[in-house]
Amino acid sequence: MVKERQGKMKISIIGSGYVGLVSGACFAELGNRVICADNDAKKVAALLAGAVPIYEPGLKELIAANVMRKRLVFTSSIKEAVVKSDIIFIAVGTPSLENGEADLTGIENVAQAIAQHMNGYKLIVEKSTVPVETGEWVRKTIATYVKHAEGFDVASNPEFLREGSAIKDFMKPDRIVIGAESERARKLLMSLYKPLKASLVVTDIKSAELIKHASNSFLATKISFINAISRICDKVGADVKEVAFGMGLDQRIGEGFLSAGVGYGGSCFPKDLDAFITISERIGYDFKLLKAAREINRQQQEFFLSKIKSNLWILKEKTIGVLGLSFKPDTDDIRNAPAIDIIRALLAEGARLRVSDPSAMKKAKQVLGSQKITYCRSGYEAAKGSDCLLLMTEWKEFLDLDFAKIRRLLKRPLVVDGRNAYDPKKMASLGFTYVCIGRSV
């Protein structure tokens, strides 16, 4: 008999990454018994030893507290996760394939494993971001491979947390989306989420899957829209920050996601746009709007690079300081981070780099190596002896830098700001050549 008492459910989360660990720790915090499973044995060993393999504010403490209360455990055995729980969330990665499609191998593998080990009714919930109709495939896969016909439901419960504020986003979400086909599944998920007191959207599975892809694509499009406006501002000498402010006050538009800069990155927007464009094509719709949003994002990096080049002229053997490597502040995630792309482009032109990031240095070193790159402990160290300083990620410690000191450390007082984070007048008064995006200086 499945226990439906609020806050006391037996849950497993398969895939213990940014989403799986945060969801697992938060469900445990709400009083549930949670098993976080992962097929990466090294990651599970680290978690069992008390280490947290990602940086997310507050996560280490939340995990430690719930492990101590014996409400959160880790395993590399998918069997254990399936057998010991009633609700199984799938939170594995869904990266892009070469052709832009979402790679759903992890989802299929987990669906097969669940089918093999099912020992009673299970509710299987997609938390990973997946193309529309994936729920249908998960259901078919489980039905095909199931050993004992005990009954099961599939549901969709897309996750909207943002890295850097993931725990807050999970605990205080704007909305919780539940896509389910049976009353039992709906009730179980509604009861699980009841303590969060958030707006619930209860719908069918396909609509739930589409809500996630549509939301991420809309947000990415909003960023590309303001980036396109920044190009116009640049040409006519207007200020994109002023334009965005004026637009954002209109409640129909809203102020969020109207920051012009070097473009969006991260593990979600680029891959989700690719996947949504591809799945749309497959079902017979040419999503031209999203193709344009993606193209504008690509061009924005070129635009940023052209600004560096037009100020530095020859890049070969020049030293460029880089503030920030992660795709946004308060995370160590460098997947599709604009900083990494820009650094690669500068290296290809023969520049030397001095880079710094409060938490993403280890991951960056793994993908960029050390040739021609010096990893620096602070923004000041990155500026020392550099011909130019780039702001790539608006970490607080980079916003708070003492620019009079930076001015003394740089070989040449040139700052190229990919996030429009500094005050142009102040930078000019300190003697900098200050270059930003879509703002007259």
Interface residues with ligand NAD (CB under 6 A)?
A: 14-20, 38-40, 43, 91-94, 106, 109-110, 128-129, 159, 161, 163, 267-268
Q: How many residues does the chain have?
A: 441
In this complex, which beta carbon is closest to ligand NAD, that of residue 127 or of residue 419?
A: 127
CB of 272 to ligand NAD, least distance (A): 7
Distances (CA, A) of 439 to 2, 258, 419: 59, 14, 11
CB of 223 to ligand NAD, least distance (A): 15
Q: Tokens 């923004």 correspond to what residue?
A: 379
Q: 173 Cβ partners below 8 Å, 6+ apart?
A: 160, 161, 196, 198
CB of 236 to ligand NAD, least distance (A): 36
In this complex, which beta carbon is closest to ligand NAD, that of residue 77 or of residue 311?
A: 77
In this complex, which beta carbon is closest to ligand NAD, that of residue 39 or of residue 378?
A: 39
CB of 51 to ligand NAD, least distance (A): 14
Return the residue nearest ligand NAD (CB atom). 17
Q: 169 Cβ partners below 8 Å, 6+ apart?
A: 160, 161, 162
Helix or strand holding residue 269 (H, E) = helix 269-282
Is 278 exposed, middle or buried, given 0-12, 13-18 or 19+ CB atoms closer than 10 A? middle
Contact in structure between 314 and 351 (CB atoms under 8 Å)? no
In this complex, which beta carbon is closest to ligand NAD, that of residue 63 or of residue 347?
A: 63
Catalytic position from the list 36, 233, 268, 436? 268
In this complex, which beta carbon is closest to ligand NAD, that of residue 14 or of residue 189?
A: 14
Residue 268 is among the residues annotated as catalytic for this protein: yes
CB of 48 to ligand NAD, least distance (A): 14
Q: Tokens 């499973």 correspond to what residue?
A: 37
Distance between CA atoms of 166 and 58, rounded to whole angstroms?
Answer: 9
CB of 420 to ligand NAD, least distance (A): 23
Q: Please, what is the Cα angle at 356 between 384 and 418, to 5 degrees?
A: 95
CB of 200 to ligand NAD, least distance (A): 18
In this complex, which beta carbon is closest to ligand NAD, that of residue 24 or of residue 379?
A: 24
What string of H, E and C letters represents the secondary structure of 73-141? EEECCHHHHHHCCCEEEECCCCCECCCCCECCHHHHHHHHHHHHHCCCCEEEEECCCCCCCHHHHHHHH
In this complex, which beta carbon is closest to ligand NAD, that of residue 99 or of residue 251?
A: 99
Beta strand pairing status for 175-180 and 388-391? unpaired
Beta bridge pairs of residue 323: 356, 391
Q: Which residues are catalytic?
A: 268
